C-alpha cells in the first residue's frame, strides 16, 4: 500500500517545501520509491526538484480540472526513484473552481487511489487551510507538521489541529498526526533552545528527536534545482534529513 503523507502548516515559510523535497530524497537514499505531489501554486517543490517550465504541461491543476488521473502528469526527477507531479501558478484558480463541486474535498483522494508502485506519496501543501490543503489532508494517511524554531512557532497550530480533528469526523477518520519536525534550529541563538523546549513540553512524543538545523546550504540548493542531499551530501542539513528519514522509517516499523 502506498502511504500518503501531507506536509502541512498554514503558517508560511516554516520549511514545508524544504522538508517535502529533502525528506523525499533522504527516503529514496535509503531504498524507498517516492512520489512528491506539489500542491502549492507557488510551485517551489517543482522548482526545487529541477522541473523546468516546459515540463509543467500536465500538472496538479489539470488533474483537478479533468478529475481524471493521467499517467503522464508524473515527471521523473534527476534522481532515480524520485518522481513528482508538478504544479503551476494557475493551481490557485483550482481552489476557486472547486468550490461548487459536490466532492470538492476528496477529488485528490480519488485521483491518488489510482497511483501505485510507490512506497510513499509526499504532498507539499500550500501555506493556507483552504481547499487545496483540505484535499491534501483528506487524501493523506498522516500529516507531518514542520515548526520553525522562532517566536510564534506554536501560533496557528491549534487551528491546524482542529482542522485535522474535524476532517477525522467527516472525510478521513484515520488521519494521523505522524509527527512534528522542528526546522531552522539556530544553535547560536538561545531562542531556538527555548522554542524547542516549549514545543516539546506542549507536544511531547509527537516531536521528532531529529531537529533540522538552520544551514545556508539548504537555502542555496533550490536555486540549483537540487535537493540538499545532491547539492552537498556532507553538510549538516543533509545529515539531518537522513536522520529524519531513518527516524520516520523506524517509527513506521515500530507501528
Ligand X SMILES: Nc1ncnc2c1ncn2[C@@H]1O[C@H](COP(=O)(O)OP(=O)(O)OP(=O)(O)O)[C@@H](O)[C@H]1O
Applying CB under 6 A, which part among 13-21, 49-57, 91-99, 168-176 lies near ligand X? 13-21
Q: How far apart are CA 199 and CA 217, in angstroms?
A: 26
Between residues 36 and 69, which has the closer beta carbon with respect to ligand X? 36
Residues 6+ apart with CB under 8 A from 17: 7, 40, 44, 45, 48, 124
Which residues, in sequence order, are CB contacts of 223 under 8 Å at separation 6+?
A: none
Q: State in angstroms the smallest separation of the CB of 22 from ligand X.
A: 9
Of 160, 126, 146, the residue nearest 44 (C-alpha): 126
Looking at the Cβ atoms of 12 and 209, the one nearer to Mg ion is 12
Choosing from 7, 10, 15, 17, the residue that interacts with Mg ion (CB under 5 A) is 17
Cell of 94: 483550482
* Contact window for Mg ion (CB under 5 A) among 17-25, 50-58, 219-227, 230-238: 17-25
Q: Strand 120-124 vs strand 34-38: parallel, antiparallel, or unpaired?
A: parallel
Site for Mg ion in 35-54 (CB under 5 A): 44
Q: Which of 8, 28, 29, 40 binds ligand X (CB under 6 A)?
A: 40
Residue 11 makes contact with Mg ion by CB under 5 A: no
* Bridge-based pairing state of the strands 82-85 and 34-38: parallel
Could you tell which of ligand X, Mg ion, none binds residue 215, using a CB distance below 5 to 8 A set by kind? ligand X
Applying CB under 5 A, the residues found at the interface with Mg ion are 16-17, 44
Amino acid at each position: 500500500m502506498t502511504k500518503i503523507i501531507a506536509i502541512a502548516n498554514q503558517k508560511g515559510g516554516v520549511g514545508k517545501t524544504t522538508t517535502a523535497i529533502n525528506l523525499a530524497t533522504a527516503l529514496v537514499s535509503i531504498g524507498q520509491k517516492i512520489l512528491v505531489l506539489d500542491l502549492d501554486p507557488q510551485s517551489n517543490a517543482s522548482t526545487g526538484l529541477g522541473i523546468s517550465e516546459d515540463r509543467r504541461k500536465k500538472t496538479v491543476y489539470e488533474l483537478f480540472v479533468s478529475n481524471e488521473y493521467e499517467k503522464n502528469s508524473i515527471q521523473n526527477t534527476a534522481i532515480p526513484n524520485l518522481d513528482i507531479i508538478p504544479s503551476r501558478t494557475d493551481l490557485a484558480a483550482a481552489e476557486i473552481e472547486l468550490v461548487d463541486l459536490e466532492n470538492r474535498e476528496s477529488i485528490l483522494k480519488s485521483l491518488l487511489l489510482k497511483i501505485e508502485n510507490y512506497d510513499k506519496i509526499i504532498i507539499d501543501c500550500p501555506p493556507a487551510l483552504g481547499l487545496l490543503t483540505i484535499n491534501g489532508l483528506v487524501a493523506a494517511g498522516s500529516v507531518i507538521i514542520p515548526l520553525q524554531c522562532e517566536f510564534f512557532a506554536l501560533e496557528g497550530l491549534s487551528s491546524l489541529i482542529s482542522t485535522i480533528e474535524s476532517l477525522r469526523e467527516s472525510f478521513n477518520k484515520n488521519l494521523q498526526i505522524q509527527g512534528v519536525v522542528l526546522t531552522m534550529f539556530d544553535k547560536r541563538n538561545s531562542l531556538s533552545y527555548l522554542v524547542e523546549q516549549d514545543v516539546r513540553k506542549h507536544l511531547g512524543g509527537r516531536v521528532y528527536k531529529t531537529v533540522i538545523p538552520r544551514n545556508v546550504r539548504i537555502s542555496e540548493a533550490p536555486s540549483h534545482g537540487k535537493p540538499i542531499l545532491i547539492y552537498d551530501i556532507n553538510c549538516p542539513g543533509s545529515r539531518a534529513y537522513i536522520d529524519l528519514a531513518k527516524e520516520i522509517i523506524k517509527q513506521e516499523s515500530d507501528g
